[in-house]
Amino acid sequence: MRWLLVAALLGPLSAQAQRVKADMDCRFTGADFVYDCVIRLRPPLEGIAIVVGADMPSMPLAHNVRPVKATPGKAPGEYHARLDLDMTGEWAVKLRLSGAVRDLIVLHFLFTETGVTPRRK
C-alpha cells in the first residue's frame, strides 16, 4: 500500500513527449438535449480510448451526466460520442484519454436548442 503511494508521489518521470489536443463539434439531434459530437485529436492518434463526461461549472464534482465512451470514426483521429445532457446552457466537456496517451482535456461549449458553440477558441 505504502509503496504505491510513494510511487504515485514520485512517479516515473516519463513526461510524455507529445501533448495531444482535441477539437469537438456537436450537433443537436432534435431529441431533448441529446447531442451528437465528433472529436478530432491532433495529432490524429488512433486506438485511443476516450471517455466523454460533462460538468456544469458550479458543483464540478457531482457530475450530472454519466460519462460515455467515444467510438472511433472513419477518419484517423476521429471519434464519435452522443451526449445526453440534463439541460441546455454552458457545460465543461471532459475528454479523458487513455491507451497510448493519458490525458484529460477540458473544453467549454454553450449547448442550445439550435446548436453548440464553443465558449472560447
Partner 1 sequence: MDEYTIGVLTNVGLLAFLALSAYVLLVAGELSFGQQAFFGVGAYAAGVGTAMLALPLPLAAALAMGLGAGAAALVGLPTLRLRGLYFAMATLAAAEMFRIGFELFRWQVEVGGERVGPDGTQGFRGIRWVFEHGVEPAQFLLMVWALLGAVLGVLVFVERSRLGVAVRAGGQDPELAAAVGLDVLRIKLGAIVAAGALAALGGALFAHHNTYIEPRNFDIMLGVHSLAYALIGGLGTVLGPLLGVALDIGLLEGGRFLKEYRMIVFGGLVAVLLMFRPRGVLDERAVHRLTRWR
Partner 2 sequence: MEPLVDFLQNTLDGIALGASYALLALGFTLIFGVLRRANLSYGPAIMLGLYVATWAHLHFAHGLAVLFLIALASTVLAGAYVERLCFAPHRGGSAVAAMVASFALWMQLEEIATLALPRHLYEFPALYDGPALSLGPLAVRPEALVMLAAAITVAAALWAILHRTRFGTAVRALIDAPRAAALCGIHAGAVSIQVFALASAIGAIAGFLIVASHAQVTPMLGMWSTLKGMLAMMLGGLGSLPGAVIGGLALGLIEAHSQWYLGPQFRDFVAYLLLFALLALRPPWMSTRSAS
Residues that bind partner 2 (CB under 8 A): 32-33, 86-89, 112-113
Q: Of 36, 67, 72, 118, which lies in the binding site for partner 1, with binding defined by CB under 8 A?
A: 67
- Distance from C-alpha of 95 to C-alpha of 91, rounded to nearest angstrom: 13
Distance CA 18, CA 21 (A): 10
CB of 113 to partner 2, least distance (A): 7
Q: Does 86 bind partner 1 (CB under 8 A)?
A: yes
Cα gap 53→114, rounded to integer Å: 21
Q: How far apart are CA 45 and CA 56, in angstroms?
A: 28
User: Does residue number 114 form part of the binding site for partner 1 (CB under 8 A)?
Assistant: no
Please name the residue ranges forming H helices in 1-121: 2-10
Q: Which residue's C-alpha cell is 453548440? A: 116
- Report in angstroms how near the CB of residue 34 gets to partner 1 at its nearest: 14
Q: Enumerate binding residues for partner 1 (CB under 8 A).
A: 1, 4-5, 7-9, 11-16, 19, 51, 53, 57-64, 66-67, 86, 92, 94, 96, 98, 102-106, 120
